[in-house]
A = this chain, B = another copy of it.
């Protein structure tokens, strides 16, 4: 219902506002339902056919969409319209704790090219590597890349373009945006990795998710991050701190300590580190546990290794238990699990559901949990969506 408008942020409608709104709506119809004809758009929007034609001409001139031949259904054959997919428009950087991935995508979020390298804790080294790779792609793209999206595991004031800190790398107020903007002369948008993943699910996920307005993304990695989407928009809260549900208390005597040192937090029970710690305990390898990485645990589980299966099964249960708390408080239409854990979804989905249902008190809301629909690089997709979402929501052309 009624949304209270913010008089400080809002702009009055000018004579071009009508056109801006309708252009945005038509572009989004092409994006979501394309390929479609002008006549179809006029029918569903109830805009005049002449208006649709004029706006389509603008979008064609701006090279956002392109024409394809269509089949006649008993009349003049339509010229179908779809998003222009031939050129790279977004450059994405997935700055991870261990690996950094850089790639380009077209307007639809399809990955065109990508490469990765290990992240160095040395800020200058990592920056120059990113800048170098970005420049290569920008040169190759021949001016079609319009911006750079960066997702990273840390606290971000994205509306200011400021990174506050990246605990794992020990970077406090690193000038990432400034450095890359200066070196590439392109606009840069940063976002927390979990929020970026949520944004990617919203804009680039399969229809059953991107048509949902309210959902929660739970990103399982060495910690746990939560991204909340309310009414088709990322929820950040004051100072961008919202979504620290990873630190909520769900029990005692967790297998590892969370980042803040507590043995009661959700992430101490249900992160990759928790699973690895459980496996180490089961096999008695107390000292060598740092040497194993999560990918190896996954492989072992697929070979039927009993200890690996048990460690992951227990972790899955706690993932679900934490999700039950989110479901009770926020009643999301769906909860999405992302991260490497998705690779073992077929083995442990039931355990996650079981954990979630055991935690829901009154029987409602219903539990609906799905794995991420984004494939192998959700966080990179997130960095693309930072740029792409802008194209589809900013009202004016250029």
Contacts and interface: CB of A to CB of B under 8 A. Distances in A.
Contacts of A260: 361-362
A2 B392 contact: yes
Contact of A325 (B231, B248, B392, B393): B248
A382 interface: no
Interface stretch (A60-68, A69-77, A237-245): A237-245
Contacts of A331: 236-244
A330 interface: yes
A232 B5 contact: yes
A203 B17 contact: no
A332 B21 contact: no
A6 to B, nearest CB: 7
A133 interface: no
A361 to B, nearest CB: 5
Contact of A202 (B4, B14, B239, B330): B4
Nearest to A245: B329
A47 B361 contact: no
A314 interface: no
Contacts of A394: 2
A97 interface: no
A59 interface: no
Contacts of A366: 238
A393 B392 CA distance: 24
Interface stretch (A22-30, A102-110, A350-358): A22-30
Given A361-B260, A361-B262, A13 B4 contact: no
Number of copies: 2
A236 B330 CA distance: 8
The contact size tier of chain A is 35 or more
Interface in A373-396: 389-390, 392-394
B21 A13 contact: yes
A203 B361 CA distance: 33
Contacts of A235: 214, 230-231, 330
B329 A248 contact: yes
Interface in A37-52: 45-47
Contact of A365 (B6, B202, B238): B238
A185 to B, nearest CB: 22
A361 B22 CA distance: 47
- Among A3, A14, A232, find the residue whose CB has the most chain B CB atoms closer than 10 A: A3
Contact of A362 (B25, B158, B247): B247
Interface in A216-234: 230-234
A21 B288 CA distance: 65
Given A1-B390, A12-B47, 15 more contacts: A1-B389, A2-B392, A2-B394, A6-B232, A12-B46, A14-B18, A17-B18, A214-B235, A231-B231, A241-B365, A244-B329, A244-B331, A245-B328, A260-B361, A262-B361
Interface of A: 1-7, 10, 12-15, 17-19, 21-22, 24-25, 28-29, 32, 45-47, 158-159, 199, 202-203, 210, 213-214, 230-245, 247-248, 260, 262, 265, 325, 328-333, 361-362, 364-366, 389-390, 392-394
13 contacts: A1-B233, A7-B25, A12-B25, A13-B17, A13-B22, A230-B231, A231-B231, A236-B331, A239-B331, A241-B365, A244-B362, A245-B329, A262-B361
